[in-house]
Amino acid sequence: MRNIVILISGSGSNMAAIVSAAEQGRWGQRLNARVAAVLSNRADAQGLAFACDHGIATQVLDHKTFASREAFDAALMAEIDRYAPALVVLAGFMRILTPGFVAHYAGRLLNVHPSLLPAFPGLNTHQRAIDAGCRFAGATVHQVTAELDHGAILAQAVVPVLLDDTPDTLAARVLTQEHLIYPQAVAEFLAQSPMRSNRG
């Protein structure tokens, strides 16, 4: 059984979508994968309760208790590697990862970003799309590289930008699409890597 470890910082709605897809058998037996653990840098992350309710191991590592980003990432890697993950999934994990962390999980680290990359990397994507007069926005699932919100694009979904949209209404419309494309992208990534073994 190949393990997936998911990192969250808040509600974990994308994590929940991935867990639900796995539990409901939408991935099929051929993937032989499960969400083994959910880790967070915030003890108050609401998604931890969902993971616990579904029998998934959880762990909190408070980044504020570490002297540096490198020290936090080293501790996070040690915790993740306990599960020998075939895939590490970022689902609203609000930390910029160090190059060493990204290199450690090269080729098995995914993220979802609320824009149609390469447009609007970084924060405030919905306001920026509205301010730019975009007629369409969306979400992108991509492999993670050391450069923020870059890496090979695995899936995208497009939504219209409406005349009366606010950042919140646009974000809600985009999020519904994230919940659809992220579990599917995870499944397709694993299906294309059938011999990818758990590594420490």
Q: Which of 113, 126, 142, 179 is catalytic?
A: 113
The torsion defined by the Cα of 186, 91, 26 and 143, in degrees rounded to 10, comes to -10
For residues 73 and 75, give the distance between their C-alpha atoms in angstroms, rounded to a whole number. Answer: 5
Peptide linkage before 118 cis (omega within 30 of 0)? yes
> Does the CA dihedral 44-25-90-61 come out positive or negative?
positive
Ramachandran category for residue 66: left, alpha or beta (phi over 0 → left; psi -120 to 50 → alpha): beta
Burial 11-39 (b: 16+ CB within 10 A, else e): ebbbbbbbbebbeeeebeeebebebbbbb
The torsion defined by the Cα of 196, 22, 91 and 14, in degrees rounded to 10, comes to 150
Amino acid residing at 61? L
Q: Residue 85 — φ and ψ, nearest 5°? A: -75, 140
Q: Is 126 a catalytic residue?
A: no
Please give the positions annotated as active site: 113
